[in-house]
Protein backbone atom coordinates (compact mmCIF):
# COMPACT_ATOMS: atom_id res chain seq x y z
CA UNK A 1 0.00 0.00 0.00
CA UNK A 2 1.35 3.38 -1.00
CA UNK A 3 0.95 6.17 1.52
CA UNK A 4 -0.47 9.51 0.40
CA UNK A 5 2.08 12.20 -0.37
CA UNK A 6 2.23 15.30 1.74
CA UNK A 7 0.84 18.45 0.18
CA UNK A 8 4.12 20.34 0.51
CA UNK A 9 5.73 17.78 -1.80
CA UNK A 10 2.90 17.82 -4.34
CA UNK A 11 2.27 21.57 -4.65
CA UNK A 12 5.58 22.56 -6.30
CA UNK A 13 4.98 19.97 -9.05
CA UNK A 14 1.38 21.09 -9.55
CA UNK A 15 2.35 24.78 -9.71
CA UNK A 16 5.10 24.01 -12.21
CA UNK A 17 2.84 21.89 -14.43
CA UNK A 18 0.19 24.64 -14.52
CA UNK A 19 2.85 27.32 -14.95
CA UNK A 20 1.34 29.08 -11.94
CA UNK A 21 4.68 29.60 -10.24
CA UNK A 22 5.64 32.29 -12.76
CA UNK A 23 2.21 33.92 -12.52
CA UNK A 24 2.37 34.01 -8.73
CA UNK A 25 5.83 35.57 -8.88
CA UNK A 26 4.53 38.20 -11.31
CA UNK A 27 1.59 39.04 -9.04
CA UNK A 28 4.07 39.73 -6.25
CA UNK A 29 5.26 42.77 -8.21
CA UNK A 30 1.81 44.36 -7.85
CA UNK A 31 2.10 43.99 -4.08
CA UNK A 32 5.68 45.29 -4.06
CA UNK A 33 4.87 48.35 -6.19
CA UNK A 34 5.27 50.87 -3.31
CA UNK A 35 8.63 49.32 -2.45
CA UNK A 36 9.76 49.49 -6.08
CA UNK A 37 8.79 53.11 -6.78
CA UNK A 38 8.77 54.61 -3.29
CA UNK A 39 5.99 55.96 -1.09
CA UNK A 40 5.64 59.34 -2.83
CA UNK A 41 5.06 57.87 -6.28
CA UNK A 42 2.85 55.11 -4.86
CA UNK A 43 0.49 57.80 -3.55
CA UNK A 44 -0.20 58.87 -7.14
CA UNK A 45 0.30 55.63 -9.08
CA UNK A 46 -1.05 52.18 -8.31
CA UNK A 47 -0.12 48.87 -9.90
CA UNK A 48 -3.44 47.26 -10.74
CA UNK A 49 -2.55 44.10 -12.62
CA UNK A 50 -0.07 42.13 -14.61
CA UNK A 51 0.00 39.75 -17.55
CA UNK A 52 2.82 37.79 -19.16
CA UNK A 53 4.67 40.86 -20.42
CA UNK A 54 3.00 44.00 -19.01
CA UNK A 55 2.47 45.70 -15.69
CA UNK A 56 -0.68 47.84 -15.61
CA UNK A 57 -0.52 51.04 -13.57
CA UNK A 58 -3.15 53.70 -13.00
CA UNK A 59 -2.16 57.25 -12.12
CA UNK A 60 -4.22 60.07 -10.65
CA UNK A 61 -3.36 62.74 -13.24
CA UNK A 62 -1.57 63.27 -16.58
CA UNK A 63 1.48 64.83 -14.92
CA UNK A 64 2.22 61.57 -13.08
CA UNK A 65 1.54 59.62 -16.25
CA UNK A 66 4.23 61.63 -18.02
CA UNK A 67 6.63 61.32 -15.11
CA UNK A 68 6.25 57.55 -14.91
CA UNK A 69 6.59 57.27 -18.68
CA UNK A 70 10.01 58.93 -18.35
CA UNK A 71 10.92 56.60 -15.47
CA UNK A 72 9.82 53.37 -17.20
CA UNK A 73 13.30 51.99 -17.88
CA UNK A 74 14.48 52.53 -14.30
CA UNK A 75 11.33 50.93 -12.92
CA UNK A 76 11.68 47.95 -15.26
CA UNK A 77 15.29 47.49 -14.10
CA UNK A 78 14.12 47.39 -10.48
CA UNK A 79 11.40 44.89 -11.35
CA UNK A 80 13.92 42.58 -13.04
CA UNK A 81 15.80 42.34 -9.72
CA UNK A 82 12.78 40.39 -8.43
CA UNK A 83 13.24 37.79 -11.17
CA UNK A 84 10.20 38.92 -13.15
CA UNK A 85 10.47 39.45 -16.89
CA UNK A 86 8.09 42.34 -17.50
CA UNK A 87 8.74 44.09 -20.82
CA UNK A 88 6.50 47.16 -20.51
CA UNK A 89 4.47 49.27 -18.15
CA UNK A 90 1.05 50.31 -19.42
CA UNK A 91 -0.08 53.59 -17.87
CA UNK A 92 -3.66 54.82 -17.61
CA UNK A 93 -5.28 57.75 -15.86
CA UNK A 94 -7.94 56.75 -13.34
Within a domain: 1: no
> What is the value of pTM for the model shown?
0.79
pLDDT digits (tens, 9 = 90+) for 62-81: 999 999 999 999 999 999 99
Within a domain: 64: yes
Q: Which residues of 15-49 are buried (b: 16+ CB within 10 A; e: fewer)?
A: eeeeeeeeeeebeebeeebeebbeeebeebbbbee
Domain encompassing residue 22: 7-93
Within a domain: 16: yes
Within a domain: 2: no
- Report the CATH number that the domain containing residue 43 is assigned in CATH: 3.30.300.180
pLDDT at 56: 98
Q: Please give the C-alpha separations between residue 35 and each of 19, 29, 41, 43, 79, in angstroms, as whole numbers.
A: 26, 9, 10, 12, 10
pLDDT grade, residue 15 (50/70/90)? confident
Number of domains into which the chain is organized: 1
pLDDT digits (tens, 9 = 90+) for 29-55: 999 999 999 999 999 999 999 988 999
Amino acid sequence: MKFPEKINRIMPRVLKSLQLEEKIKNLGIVEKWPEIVGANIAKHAKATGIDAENLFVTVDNPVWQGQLFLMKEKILEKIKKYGVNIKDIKLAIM
